[in-house]
Structure 1
Amino acid sequence: MKAAKPVVAVIVQQGKVLDFIDGQTQREETPEEYVRQEIAKSLVREYGYPKRDIAVELVLRLGTRKPRADLVVFGPEEDHEQANARIIIECKEQRIKGSDRKEGVGQLQSYMAACPNVVYGMWTNGLERFCYRRVDVRGKVSFEEIPDLPSFGQTGDEAERPAFDELKPASSDALLFAFRRCHNYIAGNQGLQKPQAFWELLKLIFCKIHDERESVAVEFYAAGNERAGLNGPLKVKKRIDTLFEQVKADYPAIFQANDVVALTPQVLAYIVSQLQMYSLLESDVDVKGHAYEEIVGSNLRGDRGEFFTPRNICNMAVAMLDPKEGQLLLDPACGTGGFLIAAMNHVIEKIRAAELERWKGDAVRADPKIAARISKFAGSSIVGLDFNPELVKATKMNMVMNNDGAGGLYQANSLASPATWDESLRERDLMGRVDLIFTNPPFGSKIPVDDPAILEKYDLGHSWSYDTNVDRWVMGASTQKSQPPEILFIERCVRFLKPGSGRVAMVLPDGILGSPGLGYVREWILAQTRVLASIDLHPDTFQPNVSVQTSILVLERKTERQIALEEAANRKNDYPVFMAVANHVGHDKRGNRTYVRDKKGNEIVEEAEETVKEYEDGKPVYKKQKTQRKVVDDNTLQIAQAFRKWLSEQD
């Protein structure tokens, strides 16, 4: 069944943002407003508070002053008055710190003290986050720091150690905020360099996922009374150390037997408190991918031509080739795993839809079947290779967080002879057996391949000359002194594919498609493959990280018989090629999100329907909810849909 077409509901003026709570008020689009809107989304989507019980910019009376509280939560159906306030949240832009004398946590606590029925409060700038419970003893008010606010209908005691069915899928940029906050806290309070801090955070994310998958009751938590003092943080450390021992046993290829969580108990307790409320397994794939890849990119991006592919480009390539259960999928330069995760989840959604239809929407009966099929597919059909061992470890983590295909990830030089690969990789016997490849190989003349042992194995590693007598390029006997890696990756990817049906979607620099001196590369491509599509990507696609003009080339490997017939006829068969320009990619050269605007420059907001997984009496239930969102200025999905339609007409 086709999803209902979104209804455009509101026009948002330039420089404004639509208030999430009332869906009508247009506020100034400032850094502080960005934080407030993200927290408002969390209150509704993650904590479950109804919009009708939340006020924005409520005027408070503090003596002669009348400040405005950013977000105030009231009891069900109560009037929005100061005396009825239950939770107060103060949001600041990132440059404001919690220790600031005027706008830090002291400001929040003064607001809480002025409201007689307030129990909880939160102060955040997106990077720092502090939650408090108000304590009244004999007329004296104090504030106890706690790990998190209670969810709707939850008592404070219940929030101390959450149950699994109370964990919240992260929405929008909430997880990005949490990862940044944790990473910076480790770096600032443990005396570690940022890359070291990243690996410590990685260990804890693994522990969190293991807890969600394997534990009977939640073990990844830090209660409010375990954040301070000596004994409390030690209790947290003991629980996490036990989880990490289990993680090491499950993932010996990632962690060594002598690895430990090298954080002080106090730092560890803080980090756990910042992550414990989320369900990483249930959080949206794009939410997790955006958060995780930003942290990975800021720590592990190397100097070997690595620049990670934006998620919408990964999704476009995957939608174009439409992977299915039973096909072998490969990325020989997998980086952080963006293409593989997009492909894996594309297939998983097909599995989930098929099983839910089979069980007539009964999630309780369908979920075990879904899990079994996903496990089988992810374990046998996903393969990723990368030369950077640190990236492979990080990618394994990303795959585990996104439904798990970590067993098919290997550290290897994809361009080297398969005989040099690890035995477990050689046993996969990939050459000529892969159904679909999605990849963005490393680019550049600054990282040339100059090993003669590698170059001599490739047609494109040899010297070529243009023979005017036969009007084509001819391969010579000698090898080149060096080649940029992307040229050799073209040949290696084609050799990986099944003859006659295997297809590859590859990001390539435009010089390969147009430079006169690289005509021999194009000659080889046309001889060995059928070109299905060429998608010209926007110059800002990889900004703000790198400026490079690229295209996506989609190729299908020919059979030996097809190649022989064309050589005998001394001509290539003519065929149509799908071509498109991805001139709207959803962000500008600074990396800022761009949205569709009307003729007056106002941003357009649409009403859309989302599927949300909730728990009722401990059982999963899928519900539909309507939400409003800006229309991202991105035509990559439309290109993929047009290609699928074109391809069906060709077939």
Structure 2
Amino acid sequence: MTTQLVPPVTIATGTIPEGKVADFLTGRHVRDTPEEYVRQNLEKALVRQYKYEASDCSPEFPIKVGSSRKRVDVVVFAAGADHKQENAYILVETKRAGTSPSNRTEGVGQLRSYLAACLNAQYGIWTNGDEQYCIAKRPDGRGGFTFEEIIDVPANGQTEAEAQRPQRKDLKPATADNLLFAFRRCHNYIAGTEGKQKAEAFWELLKIIFAKIEDERSRQLDFYVTPTERTSTTNAASAKARIQKIFETKVLNKYRAIFAASDTVIDLKPPVVAFVVSQLQGYSLLASPVDVKGVAYEEIVGSNLRGDRGEFFTPRNACRMAVTMLNPQPDERLLDPSCGTGGFLITAMNHALGHIEREERAQWHDPSRGTDEERDELFRRRNEYFTQKVHGLDLNPGLVRAAKMNMVMNNDGSGGLWQANSLANPRSWSPEASSRIALGTIDCIVANPPFGANIVIDDHELLEQYDLATMWDRVDGRWTQRLSADGTPTLQKNQPPEILFIERCIQLLKPGTGRFAIVIPNGILNNPALGYVRTWLMENVQLLGVVDMARELFQPKNDTQTSMVLGRRLSADERAAAADGKLDYPVFMAVAERIGHDKRGNILYRRTETGEDVTITRVETVAAIDPKTGEEILQNVEVSERQIDDELADVATAYLRWLGEQK
């Protein structure tokens, strides 16, 4: 067996000085501060969600307030108008997280004073990311103004009434971290206002998110709250009744396996429901990018449901790298036997769905939008893949439930997830799980098994299923199983789950063709005492690739050094050849020293030799809502941004290039 180390490729297309960030609207370099982070997200929302032209927006715009000059964080001007104070239409004030909206100098009052100074300005937005206020300026009939809090400001070409109760054509796919901000606002509001524990608040929020998703799939949108329902406790009861009806008729009937009998009611006060709906009603969750939804959802899940059994969710960039290398196809059965909240599985599922989407759209007369018949066929193929090919197991019932919800929010596929101990005998799983997930039947496995020194498996009945749960001795330089007097292998007293998961994954795969991508602690790969694990692997698996991941991958939550290991289960003939040392093949190997964040979880950006940030421009295909038909369409958007210092995508590209060179 030979190995080949392939270095990643870095492409620099521009530079940004250290401590600076390129302003989204102007491209000018500005200081990279917590307040700037909030403003950049809002700028992206104004252009990508609210559809205002970047040329009609201006950051740090100076206005005259009385005898003094002030700078508004962002001003949206009337379409095509000169950038003058009298042409201001929307004023935006962004603050760092933690700034109080009642602060005398930086709160909502500051925004109101700016609106009063701009006579023709009609709307304002104040946000610190975690809180957001939308303000409308109204003439009071006496030459002055009053200010009214509204649900949302109008998008480009939209009336205020349409913004307060959006139609399908008005829904906006989320961008950047704006959906994360909205989820966080809702969760914190529920926890703070209702006095619920964080986990309780999380489940109630998910009920409303489910209602939102199912409402988007309906012809008529009923997921909305009016301004009077938002501001009046009495009228808020109507909003809660409407959302409760969506939940009962569209969610519970469809997802009875997710919601227990005790979950039939949204257990929140009417004003709280009204607030949550107001924060979410303008988004199209179905059309929002997978990663945008995934980051928002998994942060909320992680802060509430992460357990104490070594459950550390796989970072999205590591999932993408592994899935790109594994390349699961639409006709292949996919499984994650330790699925957690479903992030790894969703990445793999959407990779296969991408194949389906491209194949179908290539046959459409107009690839950006299909006829009803063309869309129906795409939906049929997608649904067939969800129901027949996508599977997941996890021991933690709360995580399985959260994973099912995550799957629904990210294209569905929730029917193939079950609560089960993947390491137990499959006969002990539920009848449906054991019939759908039999040993030797899976084409692709993606997994980040739980690992840690505090969890061991010591059940004799469970251990006896595994070669790697037996005692092994090194005799004449070769590892062999220790046999008892009756000739049967001798079991160890216990074994860490990550070792048993390796063997269980191989047992589940189809002999000869089934392949996997698994996160494995480096101790398994280099600890001399665990040489028997490596021997067993080499006799049962063709290693395709090993990527040594940076120690920071799971930090700050976990400090374990890991590798991503890819392989294929050997056929019976290949196993015999491997046992005789006659199976020779090359192995792709790489070291990923930079994975996009430091040990504290802070994002790191690529820099030139002189210390300046690297920027990159790319064309991104995004989903959008056709304002005329309300249907989802695809658009190409040019994105220019700082390049995260992450080598994992380069590793995947190098692997595919290397794989193409092999016989």
Q: Deviations over 1:261-299 (max 9, x none)?
A: 111100110010001111111011111111111111111
CA contact (8 A) 1:146 1:223 kept: no
Q: Aligned partners of 1:547, 1:8: CA distance in 2, in Å?
A: 31
Q: Aligned partners of 1:34, 1:587: CA distance in 2, in Å?
A: 16
Alignment-derived partner of residue 473 in structure 1? 480
| Amino acid in structure 2 at the alignment position of 1:223 | T
Distance 1:69 1:562, change over 3 A: same
Counterparts of 1:48-67 in structure 2, within 5 Å, are 48-67=51-70
Alignment-derived partner of residue 639 in structure 1? 651
1:364 is aligned to 2:376: no
CA contact (8 A) 2:471 2:491 kept: yes
CA contact (8 A) 2:593 2:647 kept: yes
Distance 1:526 1:572, change over 3 A: farther
Counterparts of 1:301-340 in structure 2, within 5 Å, are 301-340=306-345
CA contact (8 A) 2:21 2:642 kept: no
CA contact (8 A) 2:170 2:627 kept: no
| Amino acid in structure 1 at the alignment position of 2:424 | A
| Amino acid in structure 1 at the alignment position of 2:370 | V
CA contact (8 A) 2:187 2:205 kept: yes
What are structure 1's unaligned runs of at least 5 residues?
none
Alignment-derived partner of residue 448 in structure 2? 440
Counterparts of 1:217-366 in structure 2, within 5 Å, are 217-245=220-248, 246-259=250-263, 260-362=265-367, 363-365=369-371, 366=374
Distance 1:400 1:632, change over 3 A: same
Distance 1:541 1:6, change over 3 A: closer
Q: Aligned partners of 2:572, 2:623: CA distance in 1, in Å?
A: 49
Q: TM-score, normalised by structure 2?
A: 0.94
Aligned with residue 518 of structure 2, among 484, 506, 517: 506
Paired residue secondary structure (1:555): strand
1:93 is aligned to 2:103: no
Root mean square deviation of aligned Cα: 1.6
Q: TM-score, normalised by structure 1?
A: 0.96
Alignment-derived partner of residue 115 in structure 2? 112
Alignment-derived partner of residue 593 in structure 1? 603
Q: Aligned partners of 1:623, 1:376: CA distance in 2, in Å?
A: 26
Paired residue secondary structure (1:66): strand
Tell which deviates more after alignment, 297-306 or 455-464: 455-464
Distance 1:192 1:46, change over 3 A: same
Q: Aligned partners of 1:96, 1:306: CA distance in 2, in Å?
A: 33
Paired residue secondary structure (1:499): coil
Distance 1:439 1:320, change over 3 A: same
Q: Aligned partners of 1:535, 1:75: CA distance in 2, in Å?
A: 52
CA contact (8 A) 2:162 2:170 kept: no
Q: Aligned partners of 2:479, 2:269: CA distance in 1, in Å?
A: 67
Q: Aligned partners of 2:437, 2:251: CA distance in 1, in Å?
A: 29
Shift of 1:86: 1.0
Q: Aligned partners of 1:610, 1:552: CA distance in 2, in Å?
A: 27
1:557 is aligned to 2:569: yes
1:394 is aligned to 2:394: no
Shift of 1:224: 1.4
Shift of 1:372: 1.8
CA contact (8 A) 1:8 1:607 kept: no
Q: Deviations over 1:196-220 (max 9, x none)?
A: 111111111111111111x222111
Paired residue secondary structure (1:153): coil
Q: Deviations over 1:469-488 (max 9, x none)?
A: x7333243221111000000
| Amino acid in structure 1 at the alignment position of 2:387 | G
Shift of 1:526: 1.0
Counterparts of 1:69-80 in structure 2, within 5 Å, are 69-80=72-83
Alignment-derived partner of residue 5 in structure 2? none
Shift of 1:565: 4.3
Q: Aligned partners of 2:272, 2:118: CA distance in 1, in Å?
A: 32
Report the identity percentage: 49
Counterparts of 1:182-193 in structure 2, within 5 Å, are 182-193=186-197
Q: Aligned partners of 1:435, 1:487: CA distance in 2, in Å?
A: 21
| Amino acid in structure 1 at the alignment position of 2:178 | A
CA contact (8 A) 1:459 1:475 kept: no
Tell which deviates more after alignment, 616-625 or 230-239: 616-625
What are structure 2's unaligned runs of at least 5 residues?
1-8, 484-488
Q: Deviations over 1:117-166 (max 9, x none)?
A: 11111110000001111111222421111111111010101111111121
Paired residue secondary structure (2:617): strand
Q: Aligned partners of 2:102, 2:304: CA distance in 1, in Å?
A: 27
Alignment-derived partner of residue 610 in structure 1? 620
Q: Deviations over 1:204-246 (max 9, x none)?
A: 1111111111x22211111212112233211110111011112
Alignment-derived partner of residue 128 in structure 1? 131
Aligned with residue 207 of structure 2, among 182, 194, 203: 203
Q: Aligned partners of 2:478, 2:73: CA distance in 1, in Å?
A: 72
CA contact (8 A) 2:457 2:497 kept: yes
1:381 is aligned to 2:383: no
Q: Aligned partners of 2:370, 2:658: CA distance in 1, in Å?
A: 39
Shift of 1:65: 2.1
Tell which deviates more after alignment, 68-77 or 226-235: 226-235
CA contact (8 A) 2:361 2:370 kept: no
Q: Deviations over 1:4-53 (max 9, x none)?
A: x9996542111011111112x11111100110111000000000000111
Shift of 1:572: 4.3
Shift of 1:621: 3.9
Q: Aligned partners of 1:65, 1:481: CA distance in 2, in Å?
A: 78
Number of corresponding residues: 642
Q: Aligned partners of 2:437, 2:343: CA distance in 1, in Å?
A: 23
Q: Aligned partners of 1:528, 1:509: CA distance in 2, in Å?
A: 19
